[in-house]
Chain A
Amino acid sequence: MDNQSCVKIINEWDIVSARQLGRNVAKELGFGTVDQARITTAISELARNIFLYAGQGQICIEKLYENGKTGLRLLSIDSGPGIKDLRQVMEDGYSTSGGLGAGLPGVKRLMDDFQIDSSPGEGTDIRAIKWLR
């Protein structure tokens, strides 16, 4: 796909590259500074999860044009251990009490749309969208 670019997450520095990619696309699409910061914070959280818990995976950024709306889609794909209880990681306060899945509910709140799929042993696939207002 032309309008999708990805960054492999293997070490901590890759988190910075993923943020940079996300910020460039967000700027290009016309997001304001506050939304840029929100999008990069969401990218940081997801990339950090890959780095800390999955070992490796990738962050992809996609430009979206749908029904006259412009948006940015953020994908986080890994082939790590996966998440057994999705309901639990989507609960506020879970990540702070230790354990995996840092701040997924927070990422969901920073974005406009959020979907997560995960199978134990196969990995996790997260898609989130922010629309330009």
Chain B
Amino acid sequence: MDFRQKLESKYREILTNYLADRSEQALYQGQKLSRNAIERNIPPEEIVSIHRNIMAEMFPEKFNDRMQESFDILLEVMVAYGFAYREHQNLKHIQQELRTEMEIAANVQKTLLGTEIPCKKDMDIGAISVPAKHMNGDYFNFVEDENNSVSIAIADVIGKGLPAALCMSMIKYAMDSLPENRKTPTLVLENLNRVVEQNVDLTMFITMFYGTYHIDHHIFSYASAGHEPGLFYHAETQTFSELPAKGLLLGIEKNTKYRKYEKEVMPGDMIILMSDGVTESRTKEGFIEREELLALIEKNIHLKAQNIVQNVYKELEKLQDFQLRDDFTLIILRRNV
């Protein structure tokens, strides 16, 4: 017996039982049968046809021609539903394929953009970056060099998802291919600006912050291409201030020059860098206030830098009901006491 015949005999049995005792039990059997039929991709018009045939067989007198003909309309209507149902099944299948592909792409991206947080005796560094969707349009990278300095890049493509992620891979490789002697913050931004201007279409913009921490004399020099302003924590006064920085976004004007800024870092001071996914965390009441963000950092300030960024992320994630609207990146560099 093939599945269709089995289905028909099961349907006959259920229908007979129900007409005999009108029991909930029989109705429940009907529900189970539908699950089975859906699994086997039986379209709805097939079920209508089975019902009609069985009724005609069981009640040749009462289920007269009129009654039977009325099923022509029901059948016609159900074919259209079957039409939509089959399309839906196929779209579900396609969606599953896309999801798998995205997961693979996200893993490839993780490997491509991977960076290790440097371990330095005088410094405590923490970083977290979480994509809103599968692929991350934020990017950060650490580079250590022989002059005992640690450089950090943080960038954000306007937009998110796949297009942003593709764009980021380009930035990463443009940066890797810069010669050693051109890695001062202003030169890095000026070079990348040219790469972006030539290779990315006009609707895509990238903001970027690049800074170098000179461990020997505790100077942080940096430049910014329209990136979300960083914050500075003064341990002595226990206050926060903004890291001033001005500069045009990458990819707008070919010959943009960037200005270099310097900041002296005292023991316990912190440099806090982020993408706009942090400041644009949204709750029902609107964007979070800067005070809320500062309060979150302060609450965790006694912890290691990595624990601070993780705890701040956890709290903001919770505030947003676990739905990130934008890629989220937060980095903290602290000079050890």
Residues in A lying within 8 Å of B, measured CB to CB: 32-34, 37-38, 40-41, 92-93, 96, 103, 105-106, 109-110
In the complex the two chains form, is B86's CB within 8 Å of A37's CB?
no
Q: List 29 A-B contacts (CB under 8 A).
A: A32-B49, A33-B49, A33-B52, A33-B72, A34-B45, A34-B49, A34-B75, A37-B75, A37-B76, A37-B79, A38-B45, A40-B76, A41-B79, A41-B80, A41-B83, A92-B87, A92-B91, A93-B87, A96-B87, A103-B83, A103-B87, A105-B87, A105-B90, A106-B83, A106-B86, A106-B87, A109-B83, A109-B86, A110-B83
Asked if B280 CB lies within 8 Å of chain A CBs, one says no
Residues of B within 8 A of A106 (CB): 83, 86-87
Residues of A within 8 A of B49 (CB): 32-34
The 10 closest A-B pairs by CB, nearest first: A37-B79, A34-B49, A41-B79, A106-B83, A92-B90, A37-B75, A109-B86, A92-B87, A92-B91, A34-B45
- Give residues 75-106 of B contacting A (CB, 8 Å): 75-76, 79-80, 83, 86-87, 90-91, 94
Closest CB in chain A relative to B289 CB, distance in Å: 40
Residues of A within 8 A of B72 (CB): 33, 37
Residues of B within 8 A of A41 (CB): 76, 79-80, 83
Q: Is the interface of B mostly helix, strand, loop or mixed?
A: helix
Residues of B within 8 A of A37 (CB): 45, 72, 75-76, 79
Taking CB as reference atom, which chain A residue is nearest B84?
A106
Closest CB in chain B relative to A75 CB, distance in Å: 20
Asked if B197 CB lies within 8 Å of chain A CBs, one says no
CA distance A109 to B85 in the complex (A): 11
Asked if B262 CB lies within 8 Å of chain A CBs, one says no
Closest CB in chain B relative to A43 CB, distance in Å: 12
Residues of B within 8 A of A33 (CB): 49, 52, 72, 75
Residues in B lying within 8 Å of A, measured CB to CB: 45-46, 49, 52, 72, 75-76, 79-80, 83, 86-87, 90-91, 94
Centre residue among A34, A93, A109 by max chain B CB count within 10 A = A34
Taking CB as reference atom, which chain B residue is nearest A45?
B83
CA distance A34 to B45 in the complex (A): 7
Closest CB in chain B relative to A41 CB, distance in Å: 5
Closest CB in chain B relative to A114 CB, distance in Å: 14
CA distance A113 to B273 in the complex (A): 60
CA distance A33 to B45 in the complex (A): 10
In the complex the two chains form, is A93's CB within 8 Å of B91's CB?
yes
Taking CB as reference atom, which chain A residue is nearest B77?
A37
Residues of B within 8 A of A105 (CB): 87, 90
Taking CB as reference atom, which chain B residue is nearest A32?
B49
Residues of A within 8 A of B94 (CB): 92
A34-B79, A41-B76 given; name 10 further pairs at CB < 8 Å.
A33-B49, A34-B45, A92-B87, A92-B90, A92-B91, A93-B91, A105-B90, A106-B83, A106-B87, A109-B86
CA distance A32 to B90 in the complex (A): 26
CA distance A110 to B87 in the complex (A): 11
Taking CB as reference atom, which chain A residue is nearest B50?
A34
CA distance A38 to B79 in the complex (A): 6
Taking CB as reference atom, which chain A residue is nearest B49?
A34
Closest CB in chain A relative to B120 CB, distance in Å: 53
Residues of A within 8 A of B90 (CB): 92, 105
CA distance A54 to B205 in the complex (A): 43
CA distance A107 to B275 in the complex (A): 49
Centre residue among B46, B72, B90 by max chain A CB count within 10 A = B90
Closest CB in chain A relative to B12 CB, distance in Å: 17
CA distance A38 to B72 in the complex (A): 12
Taking CB as reference atom, which chain B residue is nearest A106?
B83
